[in-house]
Amino acid sequence: MPEATSFGSVADPASSAGRRQRPHERSRTGCKKGHKKDRKKGRKPKYYGVIDLGTNNCRLLIARSLPDGFQVVDSYSKVVRLGAGLARTGRMADANMDAAVEAIKICADKMKDKSVQRWRCIATQACRQAENGDIFLSRVKRETGLAFETISPRVEARLSVMGCLNLLDPDKDVALVIDIGGGSTELAWVDIRRFNRTDESQRMHRPPISAWVSLPVGVVSLSELYPEDPEAGEAARTAWYEDMKNHVRIFQNFPGRPWAFGWHIWHDYQSGQRPPTNAVLSAQ
């Protein structure tokens, strides 16, 4: 699946060239209180937004640019359970889609209030898996004005690593980054030795991932397959927990078939080595 960026994405500055601005992209006149430094320098702060529409949550972050990075100025998170029942029916339920659309409308209003100039909207496992995923995203575009891209598992793993690069211990050899979502879980080995040798301008956009995998298992799909019984005794709860672990272990037992059961593995053939044992575990 191509790693295309969506309309108005932060990752593709050229994507907005030559097009008409939408109402929520246009900058308002004047500066808000708290932007005196920017006003004195004769330039307005730039605002960026990102929406992550997952199987369980809809999340928004808005940040303003700073000389040395970004500052988060607004955020929003809403549990919409877009992928609830998906494993059973193959489709996203109407009530859950309605909840997601309402949450996205709130995100759009927040971006409009902050005069966000550039944004990226991504959808993950629920929209990848559902039969009506494309129809739902067409509805989102029609009702909110925001175009979402359904990213591949490979892109999702890469973005997970990019989101926690500043948490990695530079004294370690490698790090294992785990992103547990509602419908999938991504794991990525990051070669910190290469990271330390990489030019700083390339670290963010090309993180040195030596191997990655995406499992079609998340908190929503797993809880539906193995619902919890709050009145169960200790023995029953132990058996319930073991059943869940055995379900996840299924995905380890297919050597030579990396494409089976939702596995997407990419190896760094330049090194041809397994990750060393001197590693740090980073969970996002």
**DSSP assignment letter at 109:** H
What stretches of the chain show up as alpha helix (H) in DSSP? 36-40, 86-89, 94-113, 125-129, 133-144, 153-162, 192-197, 200-203, 219-225, 234-249
Break the chain into its structural domains and give their ranges: 13-151, 155-283
Q: Is the pLDDT of residue 239 over 80?
A: yes
Question: What is residue 72's three-state secondary structure?
Answer: strand
* Residues pairing with 78 in the sheet: 58
249 versus 1: which is more confidently predicted? 249
Q: Is the pLDDT of residue 229 over 70?
A: yes
Q: Which fold has domain 13-151?
A: Nucleotidyltransferase; domain 5 (3.30.420)
| pTM confidence score | 0.71
* Confidence tier at 236 by pLDDT (50, 70, 90): very high
First vs last Cα of the chain: how many Å apart?
24
Q: Is the pLDDT of residue 219 over 50?
A: yes
Q: Which two tokens stand for residue 258?
A: 């990396």
pLDDT in tens, 86-130: 988 999 999 999 999 999 999 999 999 999 999 999 999 999 999
Lowest average pLDDT, out of 202-211, 245-254, 267-276, goes to 267-276
Handedness of CA 193, 198, 204, 210 (dihedral sign): negative
Q: Is the pLDDT of residue 284 over 70?
A: no
How far are the Cα atoms of 218, 221, 225, 247 from residue 244, in angstroms, in the given order? 11, 11, 8, 5
pLDDT in tens, 23-66: 344 333 333 444 455 444 556 789 999 999 999 999 999 999 88
